[in-house]
Structure 1
Amino acid sequence: MHCSWKAVILLALVFVAVQYALIRSITSENYSSCSDTQRCCDVKQMSSKKNHILILAATRSGSSFFGQLFNQHPDVFYLYEPLNHVQTALNSTNDNRQVILGASRDILRGLFTCNLHLLESYINPVPENHMTDAVKRRGASKALCTPPVCDAFSSSMVNISEEECLQECGYLNLTLASVSCQQRHNVVMKTVRVPVVSVIRDLLEDPRLNLKVIQLVRDPRGIVASRMMTFPEKYPMMRLWKMKGQKPRNLGFTKIPVCEDFLSSVSTGLSQPSWLRGKYMLVRYEDLAQNPLTKTQEIFAYLGISLHQHVVDWIQENTEAKGVWSPMEVFSTKRDSAANSEGWRLKLSFGMVEYLQTVCQAVLQKLGYKRVRSSGELTNLSYSLVEDMKISFQ
């Protein structure tokens, strides 16, 4: 049977109509449960008021401490390293960095709209009926340990340990977690798995997300010193240097990834391209450690978030801890923050510091970190290596 050209056009129009209806049904899903027009408007208005904040950091840069500042706020839905699941799942099957970063962008876009079910494709073992006990450090998020997700603790409780959360709350219901996310006006995520800010340009240009980026940096010399202790297998040559007291002969002046990534990302951020203008703030860990309350006030004001008393109380309790910091506490946030930010100066030899600041010279200058000139200068903690840095983020 032969179809006339009119029939073909008609079929094409029907196909387009069906596709349009499908797209409309998907994009309006968030409002499909509204019982009346006013309620739909209220939901849309709340969505438009949400603050979406992504903390970009590097491992051992103080990001766990920094993320907890937001986690203490009762109107913040905070997620700790959600991209860990994506990277873990895809690293075993794909060596293409761009594929992993692309999947990470898609997951972030969904999570910022409170669709936590998207994580199910990457969590191992795969959740059953949206229930899982495999979310990385679930207890680092108070929103995942309090109502409506878990009734074991009150939302007003200030101190809930990760161990208590895991013991009392049981399996995580990702559907209830999505509801908890929807109920809060601020969605904050922290990741060390996005190397440079340009990777998430698509998200920053998405008007639906109202996304802002906080780039947390730390003196690379301090980062390397901390990583050598926490991840010794990744720094064998530097560890050998520290143990033997002399530089290994085959250690050349190779690039250090954290220095390269910081330089690229911060250079982009400070140049304020149109797609990033008004959406980027640079925070040095040392500034935060020296004046935690003042710096937190500045950050929250920039983001348009009120400084809740729970945040103030947490800062006072977790930045004045005294005593020796044990290697067993590498992920702890409770310590003398000012002393910890400078502790690397007593752990690295002057020769090691000279090597690092030669390799990372450009980014040290960009971020306002002074070069050490002698061993005496290195260990004199009364001499600050952090220059004043005034930056406008408007």
Structure 2
Amino acid sequence: MKGRRRWRWRWRWQPRRFPLLLALYTLLLLLVPYALDHGAEELPPPPPRCPSLEEALGEWRWEGPEEGERPTAAGNGSGKRHIYLHATWRTGSSFLGELFNQHPDVFYLYEPMWHLWQALYPADALSLQGALRDMLRSLFRCDFSVLRLYAAPPGPRDPLAPAPAGGNLTTASLFGWRTNRVVCSAPLCPAAPRPRHHVGLIDGAACERTCPPRALRELEAECRKYPVVVIKDVRLLELGALLPLLREPGLDLRVIQLFRDPRAVHNSRLKAKQALLRESIQVLRSRHRAEPRGLPRRQLLPLGGGDRAAPQAQQHRAEFFLSGALEVICQAWLRDLLGSRHAPAWLRRRYTQLRYEDLVREPRAQLRRLLRFAGLSAPPALESFALNMTRGAAYSSDRPFLISARDAREAIHAWRERLSREQVRQVEAACGEAMSLLSYPPSAEPGGAAGERDSS
């Protein structure tokens, strides 16, 4: 009798057991993520760290080329040299580029990759590195047809209308053409008031008034006449992206990388925050792609409020984007610094570094060093020009992108008076490793004159 009741109870329980087990299993699956999240909240965040050498160098393959493809000292055989000025926004790169623009043996292009960034906005900076490199390769070979992919003819045009035959691109379509020494002098501009070899800033309004637009093929023909082609740009995020070009024996590419005290960079960027908003967003969007590569991450406070503003106060969104972009830029600097210090000998011969502070404090000595690196002569008029450009009466004008004579000492130290102590602390926390490698002492050091190696 008992066995029959036990069998009957087991028979009744059997169909109910499976739904009950399924419900318990589902409940367990729901509780596991909650338990993991709850535990993660209690764990302290991992301490920031400097990326290991393997992490910093592995992705771009810094090892040298095979012996058969090793670049030779003769370069491309024709003696033509190509110089890339590797910099970021507000580091003084326009002044550095202008020194090469003034040289009579240089064909100079000012930020031609601006067109690519505008056309592909809002793509993040890292995803554009390959396109930037390919564009550089074409421009260095005096092939400007690549601009037809990104540059638009000047003036309004119906976006739905078919493009004009041949693209209708001229020198007036080129970014920065109004101050380009080749565009604004003969033979492209027969009515130019000054000859090509004259050293001095170009009046952009006068160039626009007297120099008619010329076809890009005419600019290409002029490019081929010059022994040195120099391109200055601020949109190549990492030096490693240039390695395929540096390995090309027929290109003879050399890189000058410009650095500046990050505190001065941020102070200067705040003055032009609206103009740099789009670029800052593109750089900032690279942060999440950079994190899996072992880069340190710190969160900068939104800057620009001064001592009177609370650190947690709501700031203008442009200042927030600029703060985050500076963090990403300092991480890229750190990778470049680590990579260059462990690069093979052939690559170190093709790469040199320059601090903006050294350039404006010793303009003639640094200019001679850079021209020697580029295989160029040092005309006395150009040395005088460099000196006069660093002996201006003030730090800057109301137009931050205008090239003009500056007071070098004030340009170096202006951030001390314009950034709050909290702003300085946050920049130093985010950029500390790169600052240390570049010999920028923290402001807290007794007697430390940030950005200087001597007491001048």
Q: For residue 317 of structure 1, what is the aligned residue in structure 2? A: 388
**Could you tell me the percent identity over the aligned residues?**
30
Deviation at 1:250, TM superposition (A): 8.2
Bigger radius of gyration: 2
Does residue 386 in structure 1 map to residue 427 in structure 2? no
Contact 1:216 1:284 in 2 (8 A): yes
Aligned mates of 2:255, 2:409 — CA distance in 1: 24
**3-state DSSP of counterpart to 1:48:** coil
Deviation at 1:284, TM superposition (A): 0.4
Aligned mates of 1:269, 1:291 — CA distance in 2: 24
Q: Which residue of 180, 183, 189 maps to 1:150?
A: 189
Q: For residue 113 of structure 2, what is the aligned residue in structure 1? A: 83
Structure 1 residues 240 and 63, CA, compared in 2 at 3 Å: closer, same or farther? closer
Aligned mates of 1:223, 1:99 — CA distance in 2: 24
Q: For residue 152 of structure 2, what is the aligned residue in structure 1? A: 124
Deviations 1:135-171 (A, max 9, x none): 1111232012122322122223333222221221121
**3-state DSSP of counterpart to 1:281:** strand
Aligned mates of 2:413, 2:124 — CA distance in 1: 37
**3-state DSSP of counterpart to 1:276:** helix
Deviations 1:177-223 (A, max 9, x none): 11111111110000101011001111111111100000000011110
Q: Which residue of 70, 93, 103 maps to 2:131?
A: 103
With normalisation by structure 2, the TM-score equals 0.68
Q: Which residue of 201, 213, 218 maps to 2:243?
A: 201
**3-state DSSP of counterpart to 2:117:** helix
Q: Greater CA deviation, 184-193 or 137-146? A: 137-146
Contact 1:130 1:175 in 2 (8 A): no
One-letter amino acid of the structure 1 residue matched with residue 112 of structure 2: P
Deviation at 1:240, TM superposition (A): 4.8
**3-state DSSP of counterpart to 1:133:** helix
Does residue 141 in structure 1 map to residue 180 in structure 2? yes
**3-state DSSP of counterpart to 2:78:** helix
Aligned mates of 2:239, 2:75 — CA distance in 1: 28
Q: Which residue of 391, 403, 418 maps to 1:347?
A: 418
Contact 1:70 1:311 in 2 (8 A): no
Q: Greater CA deviation, 66-75 or 328-337? A: 328-337
Q: Greater CA deviation, 314-323 or 283-292? A: 314-323
Deviation at 1:296, TM superposition (A): 0.7
Alignment of 1:341-380 (within 5 A): 341-373=412-444
Q: For residue 170 of structure 1, what is the aligned residue in structure 2? A: 212
Alignment of 1:214-363 (within 5 A): 214-231=256-273, 234=277, 238-242=302-306, 244-248=308-312, 256-273=327-344, 276-323=347-394, 325-363=396-434
Structure 1's consecutive aligned runs of 4 or more residues displaced over 4 angstroms after TM superposition are 44-47, 96-99, 126-130, 232-237, 249-255
Deviation at 1:129, TM superposition (A): 4.7
Structure 1 residues 58 and 48, CA, compared in 2 at 3 Å: closer, same or farther? same
One-letter amino acid of the structure 2 residue matched with residue 68 of structure 1: E
Structure 1 residues 124 and 194, CA, compared in 2 at 3 Å: closer, same or farther? same
Deviation at 1:88, TM superposition (A): 1.1
Deviations 1:24-79 (A, max 9, x none): xxxxxxxxxxxxxxxxxxxx999620110000101000000000111110100000
Structure 1 unaligned runs (5+)?
1-43, 389-394
Structure 1 residues 98 and 336, CA, compared in 2 at 3 Å: closer, same or farther? closer
With normalisation by structure 1, the TM-score equals 0.78
One-letter amino acid of the structure 2 residue matched with residue 259 of structure 1: C
Structure 1 residues 123 and 348, CA, compared in 2 at 3 Å: closer, same or farther? same
Aligned mates of 1:71, 1:288 — CA distance in 2: 16
Contact 2:138 2:144 in 1 (8 A): yes
Aligned mates of 1:149, 1:370 — CA distance in 2: 48
Contact 1:81 1:192 in 2 (8 A): yes
Q: Greater CA deviation, 233-242 or 282-291? A: 233-242
Deviation at 1:315, TM superposition (A): 1.2
Q: Greater CA deviation, 321-330 or 311-320? A: 321-330
Contact 1:293 1:312 in 2 (8 A): yes
How many aligned positions are there?
338
Aligned mates of 1:222, 1:70 — CA distance in 2: 24
Deviations 1:93-147 (A, max 9, x none): xx36555222211111111111123212211136745435221111232012122
Q: For residue 31 of structure 1, what is the aligned residue in structure 2? A: none
Aligned mates of 1:276, 1:73 — CA distance in 2: 26
Q: For residue 36 of structure 1, what is the aligned residue in structure 2? A: none
Structure 1 residues 387 and 124, CA, compared in 2 at 3 Å: closer, same or farther? same
